[in-house]
Amino acid sequence: MLKSLSINGFTLIAKQEVPFHEGFTAITGETGAGKSVLMKALRLICGDRGQSSMVRAGEEKAVIEGIFDIKKLPKVKELLATLEIDSDDELIIRREILENGKGRARVNGAVVSLSDLEKIGDLLIQMHGQSEQLLLRDVRTHTQMLDDYAGNGELLKNYSKFWSEWNSIRNKISETESRAKELAAQKDFLKFQFDELSKANLKLGEEEELEEKVSRGSKGEVEQNYLMEIQALVGNDNGILDQTQSLLSKLKGLAQKIPHYEEDLQALIEVSDPFESICKDLMRRTPEKSLSAAELDRANGRIAEIQKLKRKYRTDVAGLLELTEKRKEELGCIENLDSDLEELNRQLKACTDKLEKAATELSDSRKKAAAVFDKTVESNLQSLGMPKAVFKTQIAEQALSSSGKDRIKFLLAPNPGEGEKSLQKAVSGGELSRVLLAIKTVMAELDAVPLLIFDEVDSGISGEVGNRIGESLRNLGKHHQVLTITHLHQVASRANHQISVSKAETDGRTFTSVKDLDYEGRIEELVRMLGENSEITREHAKQLLENNR
């Protein structure tokens, strides 16, 4: 529950400490006194966005701080633990809004984002104002309300699981069919490329090996030609070796007859021995085996084929091999798509059966709960000044959706003979506010949120109906902390506590004050609400409080 609210420098409120109590508290005051300011302050500590215009003129910032008792709120403690925020049995939320519109939010001293603050606020406070009444006109909220009342959490979880699975399979079928059409249109092209590339029988490194082979073959042919010419020069009759031997023989004969040629002979012998060895070595040499012309043509042809494919597909041999495998997989995929679609359709049928079964279980639970829900809401409406009202939950079957197979709509017949009307258009604002209060009363024991705030739920209502609404809010206060802005003395007098909001001008500045009223203060406020400051009115105000104690 909310224990207190501290407001400083916030629009018309300069500085205010507001205590809150258990049960039903009425918030009253003149029109324009600042009750909406108090509501906005409560919304801010629940995650609403702040604006620079909210900072009171002359102040640097607006500060709002709320203190909550959370000892009986395990879900709040679990969320705080998830957000790594220390907590015990007390929670302090602080909002600061600066002049430039920026600000910060703290929870138990830890800075938090507005989205996280909103998550915390959703577990602490429910605000029911004109916007919430408008939501009641949206039939989508009717399904959620009935499910909450029926306790369909597990059934919805089970249905949602099959719904997700069902949609996933349908998406796969759609993607597979689309892929099948796309590949079928390209089948001839894919087959041509695969045949061309697979027939090429490409291998990594083959091109480099062929180029090396051609290079070696070309060198072998050159070597053979040169060796043949050299061996002819050296080894033929009257070749270099024969002439060298002849020269040596003649010089030897000359040296025998003329001794001083002996020196030239020895010099020739010294050079002729290694020269003869080199010549004999060259005569023994044979060139490496060279490629035949046919082999060379085949190697060059293969290189040309590989290079042509590389140019055509604008990639290297590795890329060509990868493309070959890709085309093979795509052609195989075309062949397998029919069997894949058959399997997916089998899975879809099995999942559809499960989904429809879960939808039926959910629908049966809703119909069973609706019978009790309608009677209880109707009973509450009758106690709220609509004695002949008929409330009915219409459940019609529709195509499966994320919420099941039911289209749920709340209908109301406010008066006999008029027929049931949809809450969307045909029901007045006053009737709609009473429907909202009746539903919240019915769900009071199920609702885990501790603080319910009703902003002028009694708008457009007076007399005995106001008494009934006051009683309903008082009963709701047995299960929750309830705050209600009201202009009706019938409602205010039935509250366990009362807070007065007033506005005054001092030294040219406007100030809004918020006061927790004691017994005497409540009498004075009720007198104001009754509209006549007299002793009779005062006695009437006392009697109202005494009767409702």
According to DSSP, residue 418 is labeled S
Structure tokens at 195: 């045949």
Q: Are 121 and 47 in contact (CB under 8 A)?
A: yes
Q: List alpha helices for 285-316, DSSP H.
A: 293-313
User: What is the per-residue pLDDT for 130?
Assistant: 58
User: What is the per-residue pLDDT for 219?
Assistant: 67
- Each residue's pLDDT tens digit in the chain (549 positions)? 999 999 999 999 999 999 999 999 999 999 888 888 998 999 999 888 888 899 998 899 999 999 999 998 999 999 999 999 998 899 999 999 998 878 899 999 999 999 999 999 989 988 776 555 666 777 888 998 899 899 999 999 999 999 999 999 999 999 888 877 777 767 778 788 888 888 888 888 888 888 877 776 666 667 677 777 787 787 777 888 888 888 888 888 888 888 888 888 888 888 888 887 888 887 777 766 666 667 778 888 888 988 999 999 899 989 999 999 988 887 777 777 778 888 899 999 999 999 999 999 999 999 999 999 999 999 988 888 788 889 999 999 999 999 999 999 999 988 887 778 888 765 676 778 788 888 888 887 777 788 888 877 776 677 777 888 888 899 889 889 999 999 899 999 999 999 999 999 888 888 999 999 999 999 999 999 998 888 899 999 999 998 877
User: What is the per-residue pLDDT for 17?
Assistant: 94
User: What is the per-residue pLDDT for 407?
Assistant: 94
User: What is the per-residue pLDDT for 27?
Assistant: 94
Structure tokens at 82: 């998830």
Q: CATH 3.40.50.300 residue ranges in the chain?
A: 1-130+431-517
User: What is the per-residue pLDDT for 446?
Assistant: 76
What number does CATH give the domain 1-130+431-517? 3.40.50.300
In 3D space, the residue among 203, 240, 406 whose CA is nearest the CA of residue 318 turns out to be 203
Query: How far is 493 from 385, CA to CA, in rounded Å?
Result: 18
Structure tokens at 193: 């490329």
Task: Strand 390-401: give its sheet, edge to edge.
Answer: 390-401, 404-413, 421-422
Rounded (5°) CA angle 503-506-509 = 80
**Amino acid at site 322:** E
